[in-house]
Amino acid sequence: MTRRIRSHSSPDSPTPRRRTVVKTAVATAAFAAPLAAAIPARAAEAPAFLHGVASGDPLPDGILLWTRVTPTSEATPGSGLGPDVEVAWTVATDKAFMNIVTKGTTTATAASDHTVKADIRGLKPATDYWFRFSSGGTDSPAARARTAPAADAAVAGMRFGVVSCANWEAGHFSAYRHLAARGDLDAWLHLGDYLYEYPTGEYAARGTVVRPHAPATEILTLADYRTRHGRYKTDPDLQALHHAAPVIAIWDDHEFANDAWSGGAENHTEGAEGTWSARQAAAKQAYFEWMPVRPAIEGTTYRRLRFGKLADLSLLDLRSFRSQQVSTGSGGVDDPNRTLTGRAQLDWLKAGLKASDTTWRLVGNSVMIAPFAIGSLPADLLAPLAELLGLPREGLALNTDQWDGYTDDRRELLAHLRNNAIRNTVFLTGDIHMAWANDVPLNAGTYPLSASAATEFVVTSVTSDNLDDIVKAPEGTISAVASPLIRAANRHVHWVDTDRHGYGVLDLTADRVQMDYYVLSDRTRADATASWTRSYRTRSGTQKVERVYAPVN
């Protein structure tokens, strides 16, 4: 998502552009100095598990386990140093590891940055397991994993944490700590921007660096991306959440570079910053090394998971195949030759939604699908006027990095839902650093007289700047003014909070899907508290959002 005002320099200029919404003052000498590593050197040479352990992508019979072992003090993330080392993994039904169900060994090498994955199968569905790794007499922390329900199981309910947009320099990851402390999550969804690529000081908290990146420079190479992943995985709150429940993750742009598309990114200067293909390949390699995510179709993050008869979850990759973004207000957003998903992924999504026999069809979606426009007119007036003036047919889109910039893909998908009577589709979205509860209309210009094809719950950022941060206003003051204006121009929007940081908890039953929204007291404090702020739900068969006045217990 675009966070910063674009440079007006030529895209062919060999000089790297300065791309900021909020530029910080010059970083202090301590921040500007090169950071040798994401972790401090250790005096002892025994292997260590300094980055925690994690699980992900739960299946009815399996789970993907992950860790990173540091075999010697110089084997820091991205260094390419350190010997091969044997790593064992153990899975048990109890935290004391008295009832071991499976174990095995593998080798961690510098070629994979000493990261390790074990794709465990043969487990029981809907069951808690405990796992740990060991190497050279050292044990990792023990962590909980949970398998998915059997494909044909009648599931009474499930609960997921939902997060996005965690900028290390902008604050502490208290949202992760509060989710980990709940103890009731089947899994948690990370909807993109797990990390950020910027150099120290370029994109911080209202221009202030709360804690510096490693490396201090913008990440461009495989070593850079590995080092940045390593820095993130030292966060105690992030480790705690990975230890508490399996993650289901997709990437957005900042795992690569701001406003990434198939052939480049806003935050990439070809030549001066190397080739885009090399940078993209490095980012993908580091991501799959450092994340408990199974590489899916064509080495991307689009894939599908199932949770009994209750829900399936289609996870999208909206960066690898998309056309380049067009300028705001451009009629190019309606060009049928431009795509957000790519043809193969859109066909895969449509086929999966149509074939689904679950009660709910969830879509993990990194950028908002509900229209967000200004100047919206009734469709009978807007369409001919747009054709005459070369404007977007669905109003003046404010963010063409979202589905608003690729309206042909959106129209095709929503028409597919309508024409095939596909109900109970819920989009789960991040990216925009605001919390939203939306209907997804077939025609925003005539809504609510026209139908809603789906619903959407958007979670705000964990730490990344939102609207009040950008203008440096007291929290809540911008939302009090902006929210009524946004809702007046976009009648399918039930609620938007432009100002707060936090997370969501998604609770599913056969009757409804409910999102409880929580906000943090202060993202810059490691001891930030969290409090419930709003809840919205969609009832089975309605395709509409309604407010609920209490969170799920």
pLDDT digits 0-9 by tens, 357-385:
999 999 999 999 999 876 554 444 445 44
Q: Which helix (H) or strand (E) holds 146?
A: strand 143-146
CATH no. for 157-548: 3.60.21.70
Instruction: Look at residue 375 in the predicted model and tell me its pLDDT.
Output: 56
What are the tokens at 390? 């070369």
* Phi, psi (deg, nearest 5) at residue 198: -70, 160
pLDDT of residue 1: 57
CATH class name, domain 53-146: mainly beta
Which residues make up the CATH 3.60.21.70 domain(s) of the chain?
A: 157-548
CA–CA dist 91, 143 (Å, integer): 10
- Please tell me the predicted confidence (pLDDT) of residue 504: 98
- Among 290, 176, 304, 259, smallest CA distance to 431 is for 259
| Tokens at 446, concatenated | 């005539």
Which two three-digit tokens encode residue 393?
A: 């047919």
User: What pLDDT sits at residue 204?
Assistant: 87
Q: Please write the tens of the pLDDT for every residue from 202-243.
A: 998 898 999 999 999 999 999 999 999 999 999 999 999 999
The stretches in the chain having pLDDT less than 70 are 1-44, 329, 374-397
Dihedral of CA 383/345/432/185: which sign? Answer: positive
**Which residue intervals of the chain bear CATH 2.60.40.380?**
53-146
pLDDT for position 397: 66
At residue 513, what are phi and psi to the nearest 5 degrees? Answer: -115, 125
Residue 491 one-letter amino acid: R
